[in-house]
Structure 1
Amino acid sequence: MKRPELPLQQLHAFVVLAEELHFGRAATLLGIAQPPLSQQIRRLEDKVGHALFSREPGRVALTPTGRELLPAARHALIGLADGLAAAREVGSGRAGRLRIGFAASLALTVLPGLLRTFRERSPAVELDIREMTTTPQLAALREGIIDIGLLREPPDDADLGFATVLTEPFVAVLPSAHPLARQRAVRVDQLADCPFVLLPRTVGPPLYDQIAGLCVTAGFTPQVAQHAVEWQTVCALVETGLGVSIAPESIRRIRLKGVAFRRIEPDIVRTRVAVAWRKNDSNPLVPRLLTVLHQDLADTPHADRSPAPSRCG
């Protein structure tokens, strides 16, 4: 990077003198004695190669060279002041850019409220919101592509910090014409004979293992008829009759006419939604967002509980 040809201190002295056209008053405004001011102006004139001021007894005036330099000098000083102010805003966490990855299902729970509150408190911050499943989020965090992740079932990772935002129970996702949809709640073992539509394990291994574990605990291994990367697609495939699914409770906010959501009994396993960040991140906006989460987000309410039997028909 090329070093600036003219020191800012000399430019500042030049602008003040150009505005005052009096060495004594300019020196007072600069907080220096008159001789050092005269020395700075002479050094600047040496760099420019021409006189900037005409000096006559009782009168100081800008030369044509000085009049030409003055707008550029003012612009440089204003640009520096603006840059310093902007840097202070970023350093204090009042401005800057924050990149947030989120699992699509969290747009149905914590994401809207979090973004709304954060924007109200930090309106000058630019938010870059990226929809990503859990596994790509973790990779993006480690590589510095995003600053914050909102995901399900975070793994152990020495380089990342995690904090639970909420926990929620699972629900059965059924075609509305399915016999089990007539019940208020179902047991997992009632789904044993049904084909399943699930997310691929690669997009979120811990969540997939939780759902599969519910089935194994109920005495069967789920027969996966179809995979889909997003819960919206899972629900759409369930609506067509391709199978059933087990999903976090917030997925019931996806409104599809041909899909029924039913509580799973007993409610013994919950999925955890967490915020994730790099432990060594120096971006001051990261702790600022974590503070918003800590202060303003509460766990979603638990589903009420009432039993009911039947089998996949």
Structure 2
Amino acid sequence: MDQTRSFVAVAEELHFGRAAERLNMTQPPLSRQIQKLEKSVGVQLIERDNRKVALTTAGRAFLADARKLLIAADQAPLTARRIARGRAGVLRIGFTATSALSILGQVLSTAAEHLPQVDIDLREMVTREQLAALNSGGIDLGLARPPIDPDRFESKLVQTESLRLAVPDEHPLTQLDRPVEAADLRETPLIMHSPLKARYFYDLAIRHMPIQHGNVVHTVSQILTMVSLVGAGRGVAFVPESAARLGIAGVTHLELAEQARDVVELHAIWRRNHRNPALTSLLEILGDTPLRSGHRPG
């Protein structure tokens, strides 16, 4: 690196005396530095005689890269310190599709405001995929649904929202002047969550509203698919409140009567033994920053 600094000084001053003074050294060792560099590179970089100093064609090309190299060398310690303090680096965040409708944007805004040097790598995954990726080190942070293994993961509740009933716009249930009750669904075609691929929402639905399984006409795993089927008039569906933000035409979201307020939980989840300083910094910031998505935070 000393040879590179010597070359850049001579190339910019085009005078060995001034370059030596700039580097706080004498001319003989400066000349030796240039000679060693040219020998290492294998070409002549500087033409010099008693009257002038000039760059060769190769020297002019080398100067551009040498300047970049010095800038990178000067920045490297600062970057290392920022990474160690969690102020730079990469954060890989897994998120569910519905979290993108609610809390994800605020997490990203918070990171951009407080950790602008941290690069965010987003991965859309269902909860079980996030947990597997956290285990393998594929992601650093998940925005996912319970249950959470406390022996492997730490977590923070970042959002609660209500469970709602999505119905076609002209459905008779839209004429009720009250929340929807179980008896109202007795003869209603139901689009239900898969008990295997969407277990969390399946359990929520059957816990808060008695389900007539004979009414189930479709079983799906994605909220977007579910609401789209409702919009197509195929039935009604239990969805999180934030699903209204999908803006799918022909769908009305109704309140449920069975204690369904603020029962849908979203957690930030991370490995207990993580070693990413940027994650530590983000978690500290999230701990001090209320996250709001139009719903009452948990």
Provide the TM-score with structure 1 as the length reference: 0.71
Corresponding residue of 1:210: 204
Corresponding residue of 2:59: 70
Q: Is this contact kept in 1: 2:198–2:221, CA < 8 A?
A: no
Q: How many residues align?
A: 288
Q: Is this contact kept in 1: 2:47–2:56, CA < 8 A?
A: no
- Distance in 2 between residues matched to 1:145 and 1:110, nearest whole Å: 21
Compared CA separation, residues 116 and 46, structure 1 to 2 (3 A): closer
- Distance in 1 between residues matched to 2:268 and 2:45, nearest whole Å: 62
Give the alignment of 1:101-250 within 5 angstroms.
Answer: 101-120=94-113, 127-156=120-149, 158-175=151-168, 176-179=170-173, 182-188=176-182, 191=185, 194-215=188-209, 218=210, 222-223=213-214, 224-250=216-242
Bigger Rg, structure 1 or 2: 1
Q: Is this contact kept in 2: 1:188–1:214, CA < 8 A?
A: no
Q: CA RMSD in A?
A: 3.8
1:271 to 264, 271, 280: 264
Q: Is this contact kept in 2: 1:235–1:259, CA < 8 A?
A: no
Amino acid aligned to 1:172? L
Corresponding residue of 1:31: 24
Task: Provide the identity percentage.
Answer: 33
Structure 1, unaligned stretches of length 5 or more? 1-7, 304-313
Amino acid aligned to 1:41? I
Larger displacement relative to structure 2 (291-300 or 246-255): 291-300
Could you tell me how far 1:182 is from its partner in structure 2?
A: 1.0
Could you tell me how far 1:104 is from its partner in structure 2?
A: 1.8
- Distance in 2 between residues matched to 1:104 and 1:23, nearest whole Å: 63
Q: Is this contact kept in 2: 1:22–1:60, CA < 8 A?
A: yes
Helix, strand or coil for the counterpart of 2:180?
strand
Corresponding residue of 2:2: 9
Corresponding residue of 1:311: none
Q: Is this contact kept in 2: 1:238–1:259, CA < 8 A?
A: no
Amino acid aligned to 1:232? L
Compared CA separation, residues 289 and 23, structure 1 to 2 (3 A): same
